[in-house]
Amino acid sequence: MTWYRSPDASIDLLRPLEKLIGKLESENIEYYVLGDLNCNMAAPKFDYSTNILFNIAEVYSLDQLITEYTRINDKSSTLIDLIFTNTPDRVVCSGVSHIGISDHSLVYAFRIVSMESTTNKHTTLRYRKFKNFNSDHFRSDICQQDWSNPENYSDPNLMWAAWKQLFLECVKKHATLHVKRARASKSPWITPYLKIRMHDRDILKLKTSRSKNASDWLQFKVAR
């Protein structure tokens, strides 16, 4: 989900965002919120709007993945382009690419993804391998791409296709696609409900490892 809040927008614009996040939480699904929220998460002291956004993230136990400045000019450096998620354990890496498309830098996050296809005899999984992924080399290659090329198109769909092609060329180079054979049959006792409960258990474990709180540890033990 993407969200934009202009610099002079009312603080009330964060209320619908909070309501939407609450709805996503109630559906117990994985989600990501990203965009230019004009709340400087790198400020020494948060202003009122940034405090509200920070509190929303705290209430719903969201992780903010971006830690570098995303808008740098001759007057200031701010972290206002953000990525929040309720499943940070599924993100391989995240960061900022300082490319010259605008005064805002590109933020990114790589999620663990497997693409499943089936045949009559067995199941195969296609996935990208991140074992030797080097984020610095990846960002260096990203910066060397000709990002002015998408601007040659007036159709936004063609612009997106040109941008995507440039981006995926770098992805293919640094995270190669692999195929492996999987077991033909799945465990029948792993029901959709059980998967949800397993996900809840893993989130509690992550929370416990960070807080070191006895109450959190007890909740994790119960879920486990």
- The number of domains in the chain is 3
Which of 81, 111, 141 terminates a domain? The answer is 111
Q: Which segments of the chain does DSSP mark as H helices, in order?
A: 14-26, 48-59, 135-144, 156-174, 192-211, 214-223
Q: Indicate whether 135 and 163 sit together in one domain.
A: yes
Q: Tell me, what's the pLDDT at 118?
A: 47
Mean pLDDT for all residues in the chain: 86
Which of 56, 80, 111 terminates a domain? The answer is 111
From the list 104, 45, 101, 99, the residue with the least C-alpha distance to 73 is: 104
CATH number of the domain to which 77 belongs: 3.60.10.10
Q: Indicate whether 86 and 121 sit together in one domain.
A: no
Q: Which residues contact 54 (CB under 8 A, 6 or more apart)?
A: 39, 41, 46
Domain carrying residue 163: 113-185
Q: Indicate whether 104 and 119 sit together in one domain.
A: no
Q: Indicate whether 25 and 94 sit together in one domain.
A: yes
Q: Measured between alpha carbons, how far is residue 169 from residues 23, 145, 146 in Å?
A: 36, 10, 12
Terminal CA-to-CA distance of the chain, rounded, Å?
30
Q: Is there a contact between 44 and 68 (Cβ–Cβ < 8 Å)?
A: no
Residue bearing tokens 């799945």: 186
Q: Indicate whether 2 and 61 sit together in one domain.
A: yes
Q: Indicate whether 130 and 97 sit together in one domain.
A: no
**pLDDT, one tens digit for every residue, the chain (224 residues):** 899 998 888 888 888 999 999 999 888 899 999 999 999 999 999 999 999 999 999 989 999 999 999 998 778 899 999 999 999 988 988 999 877 667 788 899 998 876 554 445 567 778 888 888 888 899 899 999 999 989 899 998 999 999 999 999 999 889 888 888 766 556 778 788 888 888 888 888 878 777 878 898 888 888 88
Q: Indicate whether 37 and 49 sit together in one domain.
A: yes
Q: Tell me, what's the pLDDT at 68?
A: 92
Q: Indicate whether 180 and 132 sit together in one domain.
A: yes
Which of 69, 95, 111 terminates a domain? The answer is 111
Q: Indicate whether 194 and 123 sit together in one domain.
A: no
Q: Tell me, what's the pLDDT at 119?
A: 46
